[in-house]
Amino acid sequence: MPTIAQQLLRRKPTTATGAAEEVHLRRSIGLFSLTMIGVGGTLGTGIFFILSQAVPVAGPGVIWSFVIGGVVAGLTALCYAEMAGAVPASGSTYSYAYATLGEGTAMAVGACLLLEYGVSTAAVAVGWSQYVNQLLQNVLGWQLPVQLSQAPEQGGIVNIPAVIVIVLCSLLLLRGARESTTVNSIMVVVKIAVVLFFCAIAFTGWNTDHFHNFAPAGFAGIVGGAGIIFFSFVGLDSVSTAGEEAKNPKRNLPLAIMFALIIIVVLYVLTSVAALGAQAPDKFADQDAGLAAILQNIIGSAWPGTIVAIGAIISIFSVTLVVLYGQTRILFAMSRDGMIPPVFAKVNPRSMTPVQNTLIVMVATSILAAVIPIDFLAEMTSIGTLVAFLVVSLGVILLRVREPELERGFRLPLGWTIPILSIVGCIAIITQLRLITIVVFVIWTAAFLVFYWFYGRTHSKLQVGPGVVDAEVPYTSNFAQPSKSEIREAAQRRRAGRK
C-alpha cells in the first residue's frame, strides 16, 4: 500500500497504457475544426459584453488590458502547444498536471478547470441573454421583463434566456462531437464577419477625444482590466480538451492553438479600439448589449444594432457550446482516472458522447446562469483560467527535465524563458483580482481537495493493486525517477509501437 505522499505525488504515464477496458472517444476532429474550437470558445466573450465591465476599471487603457491579456495568453498558448503535442489526452490542464506534477496537484487543477469552464459557461450565457433582449426590442418593440432576464442581485428572479442557451448547446453536444464542431465552425465564420461589420461602422464615428484620459486609474487599472477580461481567453484551453478526439493530435493541437490565438488577439484589439473611438468611456458602465447600442447611436437607426445582436447571439451560442464541451471532457478524463464517480465516464455507444455527464453539467451551469450576476462570474472564471495556465507553464519545465526524449509535436524556443514569463504574467494578473474572488477560489479548491482525500485518493486507477505492472512504476511515481537510459528506451519502445 503506498504512503499518503506517494498517493499525492504519483503520476500518470505521458502516453496511454492502452488498457483494453479503458473507455476512449472517437477521433473525428481535424485541424480546421480544432482551430474553430479555439476561436469559437474565445471570440465573443471579450468583445460582445465584457467591455461594459472592463472599461469602467481601465478606461480607454482597456486596449492595453487586451494586449497584456493577449501576451500572457500567448506565452501560455505556446506552453499549451508543447504540452498538447507531448500529452495529447482528453482533460487539458488536468491531464498535463497529472503527468508532470502528480495526482494531488492534478486534483487541485481539476477544481480550477471546473470553476473555469462551469462558471464561464454561466457567464457567457448571461451575456447571451442581454443580446436576446436587445434583438427582441429592435424587432418586436418589447423585451423580456427584468424578473425573467436578470439575476436576483440585479433586480430579477431568474435569467430564463441564459438557461435556454445552455440547454440548447447541451442537446447539440449529445448529438456527437463531429456534429457539434461542424455547427461551431459555421457559427465562427458568421461571427467573425459580424465583428468586422461592427468595426467598419464604428470607425465612421471615430472621436479622438474619447482617448484623452487614457488610463484614469493608471497602470493598476489597466492590469485590473486585464484580470476582468482574461476569462475571454478560456477558449485556447478548450482546444486541448479535444486531445482524445483530434486527428493527428501531436501536429494539429499545437497548430490549432497558435492559429486561434493570432485570430483572437487581432480581433479583440481591433474591436476595442473601434468601440472606444465611437463611444465615450463613461457610457460603457452597466451597458447591456454594448456593441449593438454603439452602432445604433452612430447610425441613428436600429438595423445595424440588430445585425450585431444577431451576430452576438450566434457568437455567444458558439462560446457556450465550446466551454460546455470542454467541461464535459475534463469531467470525463477525471472520472476515467477514478478521481470522481464513474457516471461521468459513461459513453453512449451510438453517439460516442458522455450523455449523463453532459446532462449533469447542463443542470449545474443552468442554475449558476439563472441566479448569479455576470461581473462575479467573469472574475471567478479569470482566476480559474490563470491558475490553470500557470500550471501548464510549470508542467512544460518539469516534463523537459523528466522526459527530455519524449516525442513532441512542437517544442518551445528559448529554453525555459517563455514558461517562466507566462508564470510571472499569470501571478501578476491574479494579484489584481478582488480579494473576495481569491477567497472564494481558495475555499472552492480546498473543498475539492477534501473530496479527493475521501474519494479520489482511494479510487484512483493508479492505486497500487494487481493491475499495476512493475515496468510502469518509474513513470507513475515521483520517488522512483527513471534514468536517462530508461527514458531513451521507453521513447524507442513508443516509436516502435507506432510503426
Cβ neighbours of residue 183 under 8 Å, at least 6 residues apart?
172, 321
Task: Give the pLDDT confidence score for residue 45 in this predicted structure.
Answer: 58
Task: Give the pLDDT confidence score for residue 190 in this predicted structure.
Answer: 85
Query: CA-to-CA distance for 388 and 392, rounded, in angstroms?
Result: 6
Query: CA-to-CA distance for 184 and 188, rounded, in angstroms?
Result: 6
- CB distance 225 to 61 below 8 Å: yes
Task: Dig out the grid coordinates for 233 from the structure.
Answer: 481567453
The alpha carbon of 385 is separated from its chain's Cα centroid by a whole number of angstroms, namely 7
Task: Give the pLDDT confidence score for residue 479 in this predicted structure.
Answer: 35
Task: Give the pLDDT confidence score for residue 90 in this predicted structure.
Answer: 58
Q: What sign does the CA torsion over 477, 478, 483, 486 have? A: positive
3-state secondary structure at position 216: coil
Task: Give the pLDDT confidence score for residue 17 in this predicted structure.
Answer: 45
Task: Dig out the grid coordinates for 220 from the structure.
Answer: 493598476
- CB distance 295 to 309 below 8 Å: no
Q: What number of other Cβ atoms are within 10 A of residue 470's Cβ?
A: 6
The amino acid at residue 499 is: K
Task: Give the pLDDT confidence score for residue 470 in this predicted structure.
Answer: 37
The 10s digit of each residue's pLDDT in 374-388 is: 555 666 667 777 887
Give, in degrees to the nearest 5, the angle at Cα 67 between 66 and 69.
65
Angle between helix axes 374-402 and 103-140 (nearest 10 degrees) is 140
Note if the pTM is more than 0.75: no
pLDDT < 70 stretches in the chain: 1-2, 13-28, 44-49, 85, 88-92, 151-155, 177-178, 231, 234-237, 240-244, 286-290, 351, 372-381, 409, 463-499
Task: Dig out the grid coordinates for 453 from the structure.
Answer: 482525500
Task: Give the pLDDT confidence score for residue 92 in this predicted structure.
Answer: 67
